Amino acid sequence: MSTSIDSFLDLAAPGVRALQPYLPGKPVVELEREYGISNAIKLASNENPYGPGPLALAAASAAIEGLGRYPDGSGYQLAERLARKHQLDPACITLGNGSNDVLDIIARVFLTAQHEAVFSQYAFAVYPIVVQAAGATACVAPAHEGSHGPAYGHDLAAMLERVGPATRLVFIANPNNPTGTWLGSDELDSFISAVPAHVMVVVDEAYFEYVGEENYPDTSAWLARFPNLIVTRTFSKAYGLAGLRIGYALSHPDVAGLLNRVRQPFNVNSVAQAAAVAALDDDDYLQLCIRRNREGMARLVAGFEALGLACIESAGNFVAVDSGRSGADVYEALLQQGVIVRPVANYGMPGHLRVTIGRADENARFLHALEQVLRD
């Protein structure tokens, strides 16, 4: 008995049928194989170009000896260490296989086909994916156009207008990916205060460690005031552990209890747990990476200005630049020079490229390649 592709599609859950898979940045090995080049660089996935620190590497190496055993399913040591860091009870913590895993868990706990989720235009691509997969309805608020807030940034008033009786989740990335825009403490506090108690507000702080702007909030300190607040963080960015996939959520203990009901057994591997604990104790290395990121950001912004290109002011470890032409064409031309960046037409920004801050030599090579592409 043969079965057609359409028949399989009919078997899928309604929210899954129209989904398109998340497309990560092109890997270096794939580019080199396709184009027959070598020494390519990747500035596409907002990774820390310096990787893990020495303490995390040592802990990961030691943990490898225990690979024959399942990891600690409760993540006891890491949860205790995170509880100390955030001055919370360990019962407030939910560990995830990257913060994307936590975002998916949150959607599965709170969304059904009868519910809605609110997020901003240009927001992180995972939000619409997890909402649609849950069969819920996405309510997308237009971003600021620049007249009464930073262009491309979250318009919290527009988001609040879309919160209704069926709303169960609001997603806010602060700073936002791919724009790098951020929200200040006062406006975000006022927004959460105005959201009804039946709506969970998810503040995604994946790039928290990189932010140096004044009035930028640490919303993990607000949990006692807002029981409907969930804060997500990751070790994939500033801590340099992207390959180990580890993130976490902070929330009211009752909310964390719900999330942990859905969390898969042993969802965070033992090497990741050990490396994350060590990374939290290596503040010197973290601060070094943050300083280098700010230096690299300044170099790229100056380079864009010299090329006459506008970029969106960013608080993360990446910057979105308007190429002034088809971003897809510029992306393809850069690939031919061995430089991988991220086109963001899928976010509704067809002329922009998102560029991760790399090492000094990588930033210089990218700017040189970009100048050549724009000149040709």
**Would you state the pLDDT for residue 105?**
98
Tens-place pLDDT, residues 36-89: 888 999 999 999 999 999 999 999 999 999 999 999 999 999 999 999 999 999
Please indicate, yes or no, if residue 325 is contained in any of the structural domains: yes
**Would you state the pLDDT for residue 3?**
57
Tens-place pLDDT, residues 91-146: 999 999 999 999 999 999 999 999 999 999 999 999 999 999 999 999 999 999 99
* Contacts with 282 (C-beta within 8 Å, 6 or more apart), sequence order: 53, 54, 55, 56
**Would you state the pLDDT for residue 160?**
98
Q: What percent of the chain is predicted at pLDDT more than 70?
A: 98
Tens-place pLDDT, residues 190-218: 999 999 999 999 999 999 999 999 999 99
**Would you state the pLDDT for residue 6?**
64
CA distances from residue 120 to 131, 135, 168, 297, 320 in whole angstroms, order as listed:
13, 19, 15, 25, 17
Strands 167-173 and 352-356: unpaired
Same structural domain, 40 and 113: no
Q: Which of 280, 306, 325 is the last residue of a domain?
A: 280
* Strand ranges of the sheet holding 342-343, from the earlier edge strand across to the other edge: 318-322, 352-356, 342-343
Alpha-carbon gap, residue 301 to 6, rounded angstroms: 48
**Would you state the pLDDT for residue 22?**
73
CATH number of the domain at 289, please: 3.90.1150.10
Tens-place pLDDT, residues 140-183: 999 999 988 899 999 999 999 999 999 999 999 999 999 999 99
Whose CA is closest to 215, among 247, 190, 178? 190
Same structural domain, 222 and 313: no
Same structural domain, 350 and 300: yes
Q: Which of 223, 249, 280 is the last residue of a domain?
A: 280
Same structural domain, 157 and 256: yes
Same structural domain, 261 and 330: no
Strand ranges for the chain from DSSP E: 41-42, 93-96, 116-120, 137-141, 167-173, 200-204, 229-234, 247-251, 318-322, 339-340, 342-343, 352-356
- At residue 180's C-alpha, the angle toward residues 232 and 143, to 5°, is 95
Please indicate, yes or no, if residue 366 is contained in any of the structural domains: yes
**Would you state the pLDDT for residue 5?**
57
Query: Which structural domain, as residue segments, surrounds residue 36?
Result: 24-51+284-375
Alpha-carbon gap, residue 104 to 205, rounded angstroms: 15
The band of 376, judged by pLDDT with boundaries at 50, 70 and 90, is: confident
CATH number of the domain at 99, please: 3.40.640.10
CB atoms within 10 A of CB 16: 13
pLDDT at residue 13 is higher than 90: no
Q: Which of 249, 280, 311 is the last residue of a domain?
A: 280
* Number of structural domains found in the chain: 2
Same structural domain, 192 and 319: no
